[in-house]
A and B are shown apart, each in its own frame.
Chain A
Amino acid sequence: MEIIEIKNLIKKFPVGKGEFVALRGIDLNIGKGEFAGLIGPSGSGKSTLLNIIGSLDSPSDGTVNVLGKSVGALSTREAAQLRKSSLGFIFQSYNLLQVHTVYENVEFPLLLLKYDAEKRKKMVMDALEWVGLTDKVKSKPPQLSGGECQRVAIARAMVKRPSIVLADEPTANLDAKNSHNILQTMENLNKELKTTFLFATHDEKVINYLHRKIFLLDGKVEKDELIRSN
């Protein structure tokens, strides 16, 4: 079953008086439980594609269906609902809420989903367990190392057990050891929870973990390599 279906996706950005075509006709399907990555040089359109899949941006042309919903046709409210309930994001610079504790950061998506306190507590502790941060619940992001921050971000993305996690350069600010650590964590979660992971990266370390490599060049899919199926 495909949970991401992209047909002839075109994305243009207005630049000055003209426009810049960042994605020039992408066709791509991603199934449930994949551990896939968009690979390509800087400017090839990886982030742009990821943002459209994440309903943070809209297509200029073509269709993008995520979990059966056409993201271009969603209202802002519906798009927010889709992100809230089904999508997890991991960013290069973690994007944690600085004044909130680790616990509160991870709890945040559950508050948005209006889960009750007891359920929230259990889910937050589970998520922190997955990333091995149960001893840091009361710390705040400024007190954590980069690796720890990214693990909090993974816990925050995973805590609501979303169908899809979109990770844009999640290791770019991490050293090799921390990179491997979080990649292993994500791979395990992918295996256990059947969460679909889609990366955007040009980091060799990440690429080596991917089960499917989608190469982008100048806004087009250049090569699509399946390393191993789930």
Chain B
Amino acid sequence: MILAIKLAFRNLMGAGLRTWLNVLVLSFSYVVIIWLNGIMKGWDYQAKNDMTHYEIGGGQYWHGLYDPYDPFTLSESHAPIPTEFKNEIENGEMMPLLIAQGSIFPEGRMLPISIKGIPKDQTILKIPTQKLDTLTDAIPAVIGSMMANSSRLEEGERVTIRWRDANGTFDAAEIVIAGIFSSNVPGAEANQVYVSLKQLQEMMLLPGHATILTFADEKAQRSEVDGWVLKPKSELTRQVDEMIKTKSYGQTILYGILLLLAMLAIFDTQILSIFRRQKEIGTYVALGYTRKEVVMLFTVEGTMHAILAALLATAYGMPFLLWQAKVGWTMPVDTSQFGMAIAPTLYPIYTIGLVATTVAIITITTAIVSYMPSRKIAKMNPTEALRGKLQ
């Protein structure tokens, strides 16, 4: 085996440019696959991280009737905050949120929105709720930058808000944009207006009510509460997982194409080698190799492309990948229009497992692709190979 590796290495070096072209193509596969996977991991991490900080905390209790995809349920989906959470809420480990349907009228257009009542002094989410603590004649409100962009509202601007209270009566008031935050989380920004919880409870005539209870600690053992559904973090981030999974399918196709190109080059090289190097094959047999050992030699030789490619990929890919992890990758398009939790700059995350799997997959694929044409050697007649007369 060691001899085969040594011989394979010499033969590859002897083949010169051809070898390096194959190795270059393969090394490219390594770098692209690791980089793209790293971006996906980074995206997954960022999306979940941002969601944790701006939307879901460590998990939530939802009112039994709350359905985020059906705004018409909002008028029903609220209830007094369960007493067993009183302590936690007072300690700041849990935070009630009341959600109501409403509209605002920026520049005279009507924009349907969700009004979220959030405690001014909460620390579970990074939404700048302390800005709701301003004294003005209008209702202080905070919105996300996606919302600010789509409604063209700026800080300090005033806009009319309209809602329907618990009795079904329409009412209107003026809000003032007290703060704008940026979170990359569409669920926390798109068509959402945050006012103080007390304020909304008054507006809705629902004192002490909430729609969602967000808690900080995802590890804590939680029990079911009547009328409320426990939504652990893993369930709330499932959408992200699914989105990443869908994206990964697309990527797998890309990897497939990349690998296919590299493998075609290797396959072609192997076929050509076996055809052009018949005399050499015959010579190996004459010198005392069995044909099976020659098959092995050619397989090792082909597979070594993958090893050399890994080395080359380390040489130029490592600095690139590390640099990317540091400065991140800024998407060339406006990501806020994507409607998914994606930051404008993604920081790839590479794991040992990712690198090891990539190397293993490429090496094994290369080995198989090298082996397949080499099997032909086992059927060669050595005397004909020696004369170089085989077809």
Give residues in A with beta carbon < 8 Å to B: 47, 51, 54, 56-57, 76-77, 80-81, 83-85, 89, 91, 93, 95, 97-100, 104, 108-109, 111-112, 156
Binds A, one of B11-19, B141-149, B198-206: B11-19
Question: Chain B, 276-291, contact with A by CB distance < 8 Å: what is the 0/1 string?
Answer: 0001101101111111
List, in ascending order, chain B residues with CB within 8 A of A112's CB: 3, 287-289
Contact of B382 with A by CB under 8 A? yes
Among A77, A84, A99, A100, the residue within 8 A (CB) of B15 is A99
Check if B283 sits within 8 Å of A98, measured CB to CB.
no
The answer to whether the Cβ of B383 comes within 8 Å of any Cβ in the partner chain is yes
Number of interface residues of B (CB under 8 A): 24
Q: Which residues of B line the A interface, CB within 8 A?
A: 3, 6, 10-11, 13-15, 279-280, 282-283, 285-293, 381-383, 386
Q: A104 to chain B: which residues have CB within 8 Å?
A: 10
Q: How far is the CA of A216 from the CA of B236 in the complex (A)?
A: 89
Query: Do A89 and B383 touch (CB < 8 A)?
Result: no
Residue on B nearest A96 in the bound complex, by CB: B283
A95 touching B282 by the CB < 8 A rule?
yes
Main DSSP-derived SS at the B contact region:
helix
From known contacts A56-B382, A76-B291, A93-B279, infer whether A99 and B11 are also in contact, taking CB-CB under 8 Å. yes
Measured CB to CB, the closest approach of chain B to A57, in angstroms, equals 5
Q: A77-B290, A109-B287, A109-B288 are in contact. Are A56 and B11 (CB under 8 A)?
A: no
Question: Which residues of A lie under 8 Å from residue B286 when comparing CB positions?
Answer: 54, 56, 83, 89, 91, 95
Chain A CB count within 10 A is highest, among B288, B290, B291, B386, for B288
Check if A57 sits within 8 Å of B288, measured CB to CB.
Answer: no
Task: Report A-chain residues with C-beta under 8 Å of the C-beta of B290.
Answer: 76-77, 80
Closest 4 CB pairs between A and B?
Answer: A99-B14, A84-B288, A95-B283, A80-B290
Knowing that A54-B286, A57-B382, A95-B280 touch, tell me 13 more A-B residue pairs with CB under 8 angstroms: A47-B383, A56-B383, A57-B381, A76-B290, A80-B285, A80-B288, A83-B288, A89-B287, A99-B10, A99-B13, A100-B10, A109-B288, A112-B289
The reply to whether A83 and B383 contact each other, CB–CB distance below 8 Å, is no
Contacts of A97 in B (CB 8 A): 280, 283
Chain A residue numbers with a CB within 8 Å of B14 are 98-100
Measured between beta carbons, the chain B residues less than 8 angstroms from A54 are 286
Cβ contact within 8 Å between B10 and A81: no
Contacts of A98 in B (CB 8 A): 14, 280
Could you tell me if B288 and A111 are in contact, using CB atoms closer than 8 angstroms?
A: no
A80-B289 in contact (CB<8A): yes
Q: Which A residues are in CB contact (< 8 Å) with B6?
A: 111
Residue of B nearest to A52 (CB): B383
